Amino acid sequence: MWSVRRPVVSMVTDRRRYRARTDQDRIERLIEDAARAARAGVDLIQVRERGLDDRTLLALVRRIGTACAGSRAILLVNGRIDVALAAAAGGVHLAASSPSAARVREIVPSGFIIGRSVHRVAEARAAEQTGGPDYLIFGTVYPSAGKPAGHPSSGPEALRRVCHAVRLPVLAIGGVVPGRAHEIAAAGAAGIAAIGMFVTTEQDGGEDAERTISAGIAAVRRAFEAVSPEA
């Protein structure tokens, strides 16, 4: 079982959030920000890149792994067990509709981390009861720029219910920014997963981008340290 240090801070990638002329330019920017997040002490980097062919996705995961080598960051691949294994990633993150983590556990090496997305208390309990996952991600907690207009958000009280329904660590996702970390911690979450707080702009520049990501991670950690895990 993965040894969780609260709070878990997870970067979730999405190249579409970058303003660039080509998809390759967006990929390059994403790799740079992943490396910055790794240097800043992020715990997990979840590669969630829709629309890439297998070869391009595999190459991307390998490049991120190289860029983050020597850091504490564990590299996960969203939904693609085959790509995660081929790229020697540290684990996989499963969608709510994916096969059970217990089934996946049968074909992956020891120490392979498995996460799972859930959207309701019943899903969280089922994931725990069937066994296999190291952690859960619950969302969408807050309105998110990564979702279509009008996409429903569950709110912190729903997050609290999920966290109190299971023993597995639960990370909050959806509209997560450092300013909401205290409320997330108070709901009982073990950490956060976010996209936007790890996306820098061209105007940030190298050192400014580094400071922006480092400051965000530090703010999340401070917020969690101020809240008792039993709160």
Outline where the chain has alpha helix (H): 23-39, 54-67, 81-86, 101-105, 121-130, 156-165, 181-186, 205-225
Q: Work out how many domains the chain is built from and give that number.
A: 1
The answer as to whether 71 is a domain residue is yes
Asked, for residue 147, whether it belongs to a domain, the answer is yes
For residue 2, which of 122, 161, 171 has the smallest C-alpha distance? 171
Q: Note if the bond before 7 is cis, omega within 30 degrees.
A: yes
Is pLDDT above 50 for 60? yes
The confidence score (pLDDT) of residue 231 equals 45
Could you list the residue range(s) of the whole structural domain that residue 59 is in?
A: 8-225
* Entry pTM: 0.94
Residue 172 lies in a domain: yes
Q: What is the pLDDT of residues 74-112, one digit of tens each?
A: 999 999 999 999 999 999 999 999 999 999 999 999 999
Number of Cβ within a 10 Å radius of residue 100: 18
Residue 190's nearest CA partner among 219, 217, 170, 175 is: 170
Query: Tell me, what's the pLDDT at 40?
Result: 96
> Residue 205: what pLDDT?
67
Distance in angstroms (rounded) separating the CA atoms of residues 151 and 162: 20
The length of the chain is 231
Residue in 172, 63, 103 with CA at minimum distance from that of residue 180: 172
- pLDDT value of position 229: 63
* Residue 161 near residue 172, CB atoms below 8 Å: no
Q: How far apart are CA 193 and CA 139, in angstroms?
A: 10
- Per the domain annotation, does 1 fall within a domain? no
Residue 119 lies in a domain: yes
Task: Name the residue among 162, 137, 136, 141 with its Cα closest to residue 151.
Answer: 141
Could you tell me the pLDDT band of residue 1, with boundaries at 50, 70 and 90? low
Q: Is residue 230 part of a domain?
A: no
User: What whole-number distance in Å separates Cα of residue 18 and Cα of residue 191?
Assistant: 25
> Residue 193: helix, strand or coil by DSSP?
strand
What CATH number is attached to the domain comprising 39?
Answer: 3.20.20.70
46 domain-assigned: yes
Could you tell me if residue 231 is inside a domain?
A: no
